[in-house]
Structure 1
Amino acid sequence: MNSLLLALQFFTIIPVHKNLPMERRSITGMYSMFPFLGALLGAVACLLLYFNWSPLMTGFSIVLLGILLSGGLHMDGFIDTSDAFFSYKDRLKRFDILDDPRVGAFGVMAVVLLIVGKVIIVSEVLAVESFQWIFILLIPYFSRITLATLFSLTNSAKTSGLAYFFKQKMNGNVVLIVAACHFLIGVAVVGWQTDWLIAVTFAVVLFGFICLFRGWILRNFGGVTGDLLGASVEVSEVVLWLTLLLLLS
């Protein structure tokens, strides 16, 4: 229960007014339960389907709700990551940009393209006759699996910050094993509820994304930070929604 409350406290806007223990077991449990948090946010977004809105309005609402419920945390990480990467500076300068609370031009352009693109893709998926609601729940679930896997497999790029603190406290092997179990559960649910071709494709795409994104992180930053993890959530969701659109079309 403490792990779930910690996840809600750090990664959502849900108020948890309680001093929670920050020992190794709780932090490990928090990241182990992180995919369930994504499923919870997706379940809330599923309620939007009860409104008789157009696919465009529903797609916009789903994207907006995801940003609001997470407090914009992952989107902020994507913005900072874009500013740092597209600065084309050396690695130390990129870390300074990641820590800078100001938003640069590259961050603004990248987040506008991300949000507009995501709204369009989600809207197009919703307009397909064979679309099923379960994807609204499972795509945030898979994106949090991506974060947990990357965090457990990749060393910290810095020796400061919240991500470094969590990394020192977390049992990475346990989180990785649980993330693998979440991955298998998610793929099985997709296959059972929809189509096994979609399930297998999701598995291949997500595995490929984790490998490629981790390699990109190591080449450009030498390790993981909280901003890079947040960016992984946003980008993986767009990749999965785009994959779904191509499959359903």
Structure 2
Amino acid sequence: MKSILLAFQFFTVLPVNKNLPMDKRSITGMYSIFPWIGGGIGAFSCLVLYFDWSSLMTGFCIVLLGVVLSGGLHMDGFIDTSDAFFSYKDRLKRFEILEDPRVGAFGVMAVVFLVFGKVIIVSEVLSTDSFHWVFVWLIPFFSRAMLTLLFSLTNTAKASGLAYYFKGKINANIVLIAAICNFAIGLAVLGWMTNWMVAVTFAVVLFAFICLFRNWTMKNFGGVTGDLLGASVEISEVMLWITLLLLLS
């Protein structure tokens, strides 16, 4: 229960006004159940499907709820990551940009393309004959499962910040096993409720994304940070929606 409350406290806008323990067991549990927080956000977003709105309006609401319910945490990471990477500076300068609370031009341009692109892609998927509500539920689940797997397998880029603090607190092996189990559960549900071709394709795309994103972070930053992990959630969700669009259209 403490791990669940910690997950809500750190990764959602739900008010959890309690001083919770930050011991190794609680933090490990928080990351192990983190994908289910994404699943909860996806389940809540499914409610908009019951309104007789256009696919564009429904897609906008799904994207909006994902940002609002997570407190914009992952979107903020994507903005900071874009500012740092597209500055084309050395690694130390990129860390300075990541820590700068101000938003630069590259961050603004990147988030505009991300939001508009995501709304359009989700809307196009909603318009297909093979659309299933389970996609709205599971894509936030998979993106968080991917984050936990990436975090358990990758060292932090710097010896400071929340990612470094949490990395020292988690049992990486347990988080890794939990992430694999969560992936297996999500893919099984996806295959059972839609078809196994979609589940297998998702598995391949997620595996490729984890490998490529991990290599990219190691090459450009020397590891992960909280901002990079947040960016991975946003980018992986877009990749999964694009995958659906290609499969269903």
Matched, 1:4 2:13: no
Output one character per residue of 1:203-227: Cα deviation in whole Å (capped at 9) or x when no partner: 0000000000000000000011000
Matches within 5 A, 1:172-211: 172-211=172-211
TM-score of the superposed pair, with normalisation by structure 2? 0.99
CA–CA separation in structure 2 for the residues paired with 1:26 and 1:158:
23
CA–CA separation in structure 2 for the residues paired with 1:162 and 1:222:
16
Letter in structure 2 aligned against 1:97: I
Identity of aligned residues (%): 74
TM-score of the superposed pair, with normalisation by structure 1? 0.99
Q: Would you identify which runs of 4 or more consecutive aligned residues in structure 1 move more than 6 Å? A: none
CA–CA separation in structure 1 for the residues paired with 2:190 and 2:71:
28
Matched, 1:236 2:236: yes
Compute the RMSD of aligned alpha carbons: 0.4
Residue 157 of structure 2 corresponds to 157
Matched, 1:113 2:113: yes
Residue 59 of structure 2 corresponds to 59
Q: Count how many residue pairs are aligned between Structure 1 and Structure 2.
A: 249
Output one character per residue of 1:55-102: Cα deviation in whole Å (capped at 9) or x when no partner: 000000000010000000000000000000000000000000000000
Matched, 1:129 2:129: yes
Letter in structure 1 aligned against 2:207: F
Query: 71-80 or 156-165, which moves further after superposition?
Result: 156-165
Equivalent residue of 1:167, what SS? helix
1:163 deviates by 1.0
Output one character per residue of 1:129-179: Cα deviation in whole Å (capped at 9) or x when no partner: 110000100000000011101110000111111111100000111000110
Output one character per residue of 1:10-42: Cα deviation in whole Å (capped at 9) or x when no partner: 010000011101000000000000000000000
Letter in structure 2 aligned against 1:183: F
CA–CA separation in structure 1 for the residues paired with 2:20 and 2:54:
42
Letter in structure 1 aligned against 2:220: N
Matches within 5 A, 1:213-224: 213-224=213-224
CA–CA separation in structure 2 for the residues paired with 1:50 and 1:17:
33
Letter in structure 1 aligned against 2:72: G
CA–CA separation in structure 1 for the residues paired with 2:223 and 2:214:
9
Gaps of 5+ in 1: none
1:106 deviates by 0.2
CA–CA separation in structure 1 for the residues paired with 2:184 and 2:50:
29
Letter in structure 2 aligned against 1:64: L
Letter in structure 2 aligned against 1:188: A
Equivalent residue of 1:78, what SS? helix
Matches within 5 A, 1:42-121: 42-121=42-121
CA–CA separation in structure 1 for the residues paired with 2:128 and 2:156:
41
Gaps of 5+ in 2: none
1:50 deviates by 1.1
Letter in structure 2 aligned against 1:48: V
CA–CA separation in structure 1 for the residues paired with 2:90 and 2:121:
34
CA–CA separation in structure 2 for the residues paired with 1:166 and 1:191:
33
Equivalent residue of 1:140, what SS? helix
